[in-house]
Amino acid sequence: QGYTVVKDGINKWCIPKFGKMRVDAVIYVNDTLKELLHEDQSLRQITNAATLPGVVKPVIGMPDIHEGFGLPIGGVMAIEEKGVISAGAVGYDINCGVRLLRTNLEAEYFNKELLYKLIERIEYYVPTGIGKKGRHKGITRLIFDDVVHNGVEAVIKAGFGKKSDLNFIEEGGKLSGADISAVSKEAQERGEEQLGTLGGGNHFIEIQQVDSILDEKLAERFGLFKGQIAVMIHTGSRGFGHQIATDYTKILWEAAKKYGVDVPEKGLAAAPIDSKEGKAYYKAMAAAVNFAFSNRQIIMFDVIKAFEDVLKKSSESMGFQLVYDVAHNIAKWEEHGGKKLLVHRKGATRALPAGHPQNPSFYKESGHPALIPGSMGTGSYVVVGTEKAAETFYSVNHGAGRRLSRNKAKKITKEEFEKAMGDVIYNVRSFKDIVDESPLAYKDVEEVISVLSERGITTPVARLIPLAVVKG
């Protein structure tokens, strides 16, 4: 395929620049995970991204890398101010991300009957599945403008959660620069209806148990202990972000021609950051980022209500507290090596180390938690980035990553599926609708997590295992 892959130290491989590439590409995998990469186009995709104007060394593939539209999932691409912005390098689900809630509840008291009741009640409050409308749309329609411009603060004002939650969300729950006038009517209409919904497929609400503590000190700071009940929420900006991504992929594709940007494939459609189209995309993307943070805030509120109903206890007495909320599809201005860069993370999570000034104040000394879901039948992780993560623009993987495409995963049999799920309870779906989310469809999360920890880029803090999952 034209490129060579050269080993460059522990779990790191370099694709030296060739052809139109402006910079090298780098991937973080071990030998086993590296074998999987020959089956898809993800390596070619990071080399394509390395041709874009303003790209800074290197374009990165994370250990969970797999083929995507334009940039692969698990891709990080940093661009200088005079370079380009790309919608395909953020992804269709703008600010898809993960939020983790902790409690003071002990998992040993959660029997199957109780877990069934909980997921049933959660599904009663949180609309799940593609195209569902929000239960709170009466309110969310009224505050929609406030939400897209001001983020989570707007939904807290409307009664969803408490002010202090803002301290536990990336960017404080608001990316500045959002402007609804850059968003199409169609996107707005989809957004107004869908705020407060989980969405389909890969999105989930999972009741988890803290299975092991891997760093005592950090776990204590994050309020995590062995045997604890936690809840992980994974969703994004629903039809709102999807429509914005669709609209702007077209707009940026045309703009690329207009400005003479040489774009190697449609998925990497890009325009100069300071062009009319580039600026408009940033404004619309920021609106979707704020929408998604707010979406997860509303869902958290509804999940807690479900626990209150079923356990007949107050949120306070159950010790519900937001641990953190991180984006994994986003482009953000950040400073790296004294330079202002627009860092595109698509299926990658920011992970700032201890002492980094951009940490929320509560996590300044420890570094903030980075949340890495595995699958609904295996483990998920909380990790922290180290100083060495500077080499990835302080980014880590966002999951285990797909091993099988959705089509290939459809071949998994019911027996295989059930064996992989073990005792984990899941919401009722036809087998056909859930089989492509089988744990077998994802890479081995233990292996994926070890890639960056062995390299010294992350410190694993806790491993969580699923007890019950509400799948979108």
Catalytically annotated residues: 398
CA-angle at 394, arms to 392 and 396, nearest 5°: 75
Q: Is the four-CA dihedral 391, 393, 394, 398 of positive or negative sign? A: negative
CB nearer ligand 5GP, residue 96 or residue 122: 96
Q: Among Mn ion, ligand 5GP, none, what binds residue 399 when CB lies within 5 to 8 Å by partner kind?
A: ligand 5GP
Q: How far is the CB of 89 from ligand 5GP (least distance, A)?
A: 15
Q: How far is the CB of 442 from ligand 5GP (least distance, A)?
A: 5
- The Cβ-side half-sphere exposure at 223, using a 13 Å CA radius, reads 18
Q: How far is Cα 388 from Cα 454, in angstroms, rounded to an integer? A: 12
Verify cis geometry, omega within 30 degrees of 0, for the bond prior to 58: yes
Confirm or reject binding of residue 70 to ligand 5GP (CB under 6 A). no
Confirm or reject binding of residue 73 to ligand 5GP (CB under 6 A). yes
Confirm or reject binding of residue 153 to ligand 5GP (CB under 6 A). no
DSSP letters for 193-232: HHTT--BSTT-EEEEEEEEEES-HHHHHHHT--TTEEEEE
* Number of C-beta neighbours around residue 69 at 10 A: 19
DSSP state of 164: G
Q: How far is Cα 206 from Cα 451, in angstroms, rounded to an integer? A: 25
Q: Which stretch binds ligand 5GP (CB under 6 A): 12-20, 99-107, 333-341, 398-406?
A: 398-406
Rg (CA), the chain: 21
Tokens of 287: 């609106």
CB nearer ligand 5GP, residue 192 or residue 206: 206
Nearest to 184 by CA among 115, 268, 241, 102: 241
Confirm or reject binding of residue 399 to ligand 5GP (CB under 6 A). yes
Q: How far is Cα 438 from Cα 417, in angstroms, rounded to an integer? A: 6
Confirm or reject binding of residue 401 to ligand 5GP (CB under 6 A). yes
Confirm or reject binding of residue 96 to Mn ion (CB under 5 A). yes
Q: Which stretch binds Mn ion (CB under 5 A): 58-66, 125-133, 229-237, 336-344?
A: 229-237
Q: How far is the CB of 401 from ligand 5GP (least distance, A)?
A: 5
Confirm or reject binding of residue 236 to Mn ion (CB under 5 A). yes
Confirm or reject binding of residue 170 to Mn ion (CB under 5 A). no
CB nearer ligand 5GP, residue 215 or residue 444: 444
Q: Which stretch binds ligand 5GP (CB under 6 A): 106-114, 264-272, 354-362, 397-405?
A: 397-405
Which residues face 383 on adjacent strands?
370, 460
* Residue nearest ligand 5GP, CB atom distance: 399
- Residues of this chain that interact with Mn ion (CB under 5 A) are 93, 96, 236
- Residues of this chain that interact with ligand 5GP (CB under 6 A) are 64, 73, 96, 202, 204, 206, 347, 373-376, 380, 398-401, 437, 442, 466, 469, 471
